[in-house]
Amino acid sequence: MELLSHPLYLAPIPLYAQLYKCKALVINSDEPFVKQTYRNRAVIATENGTQNLTIPVIHDGGRIAMRDVRISEHGNWRHQHWNAMVSAYRKSPFFDYYADDFAHFYEERDGFLMDFNLRLHQVISELLGLDREVRIIDNSNKATGFIDLRHIAEPKALADMEGYTPQPYYQVFAQRNGFIPNLSILDLLFNMGPEGLIVLRG
């Protein structure tokens, strides 16, 4: 079975839990970009609770295919995102092991959001040992026979997701904030390392 989803920014853990059960991740590059979703937003856990990390994009408000969305380099978002990650995870068990795998993403300049997200996904998959094919399709392909997880891009849909029970795991600030489910896959990776695969397996 294959999993149909959007190319999400440091996607939420439930996507990877579903991908664990599948042989491939399928992305439709013709699907429209939608603001205020996990297409360009990730959620991490900090000492004070959750924090949203949002990539600014060049968007005029009209309909634009995900493959055509360009990252905006206005402001200092790369520096802000990386500093937030360091602050949140520098005390986590695996941050020092993996930091170099991610730091360069926040030093380079990437033109397209979809490419940036998929490059991050490739690194995350390799570090987790989650070897799954990524296939890019467009509207000329009939999207049938997939597990459709496109709705996971919407924060509310993720919160109300049926048929998925978050598996607790070690989190740096759990003693202060309690266990926080459905965070970015970064949270699982930095806290659990390769054993994150056991959490995804359920």
Report the pLDDT value the prediction gives residue 142, as an integer from 0 to 100: 65
- In sequence order, the β-bridge partners of residue 65 are 32
Do 167 and 202 touch, CB atoms closer than 8 A? yes
Report the pLDDT value the prediction gives residue 143, as an integer from 0 to 100: 61
Do 137 and 159 touch, CB atoms closer than 8 A? no
Beta-strand runs (E) in the chain: 2-5, 24-28, 41-46, 49-54, 57-58, 70-71, 133-137, 146-148
Per-10-residue mean pLDDT, the chain, length 202 = 95 95 94 94 96 92 90 91 97 97 90 96 96 90 80 85 84 94 97 95 86
Neighbouring residues of 90: CB distance < 8 A, sequence distance ≥ 6: none
Report the pLDDT value the prediction gives residue 4, as an integer from 0 to 100: 94
SS3 15: helix
Dist CA 164 CA 100 (whole Å): 32
Report the pLDDT value the prediction gives residue 108, as an integer from 0 to 100: 83
